[in-house]
Structure 1
């Protein structure tokens, strides 16, 4: 117990369960002047600091305040409905950009009456795909049936 106590009392950092953050003791005056030194700070050993601040978390985990007030690894929560909708909006934007990039040169060939039958067929397929993308109901995320990208 005395080794733990001496390691903690000579520690360079405190951990705040409220902010789930580490604060260097050497900068306490700066934090005090800013009114942001944590009232709930707990002195932690350098080993704890390194494990929870500098090393990457285990797969699927994130740092949380444990029941004892010290840092611990907790499960990353699943995305919220709003986050899933935002992911769907991003995915739609990427797919639309891809469709637009494919359509532009094909449309140019049609516009100047220089398109092959294969290019005309490809243009039609890409335009149908783009229409299908526009008709998606993103509010159903993550249960969206995405249209198949043309070959």
Structure 2
């Protein structure tokens, strides 16, 4: 006996033994159909690379993942900018300490300047259309 029903409207599987709970909580579940347990196991698991569960002909199917929205791209760029700034802050801090303590090597002094320039350029990056500066080497 199958243990689930499928709703194409909600792109969701519902355990039959809990239907009474869902039906009292959800506005409409009139499209529920019986679904084979093997189908539920396939489409309730991990999707293949680049795919998400979608609905094709009212049945579950793996469909191509939609491209990220501009908002998602901007948010990702903001996170990357923050992570890169944290790295730059860390690289600058110890070199600045060495310089302040008058124990910095010539290489540390040059690299400190490079990291400071990098951090300034990084802070000028517009997350909506990022052009990333090269990391100091």
In structure 1, the gaps of 5 or more residues are 1-9
Q: Structure 2 unaligned runs (5+)?
A: none
CA drift of 1:35 comes to: 4.2
> 2: distance between equivalents of 1:85 and 1:126?
24
RMSD over aligned CA atoms reads: 1.5
Aligned to 1:97: 86
**Length-normalised TM-score, structure 1:** 0.84
The 8 Å contact of residues 31 and 37 in structure 1, kept in 2 or not, is answered as no
Deviation for aligned residue 1:115:
1.4
Structure holding more helix per residue: 1
State the SS of the aligned residue for 1:139.
coil
Structure 1 residue matching 2:6: 3-state secondary structure: strand
Matched position secondary structure for 1:147:
coil
Match of 1:12 in 2: 3
* CA distance, structure 1, for counterparts of residue 128 and residue 8 of structure 2: 36
Paired with 2:61 and 2:23, the residues of 1 have a C-alpha distance of 26
Shift of 1:32: 3.0
Structure 1 stretches of 4+ moved >6 Å: none
SS in structure 1 of the partner of residue 103 of structure 2: coil
Decide whether the 8 Å contact of 1:28 with 1:37 is kept in 2: no
Distance change >3 Å, CA 147–CA 139, structure 1 → 2: same
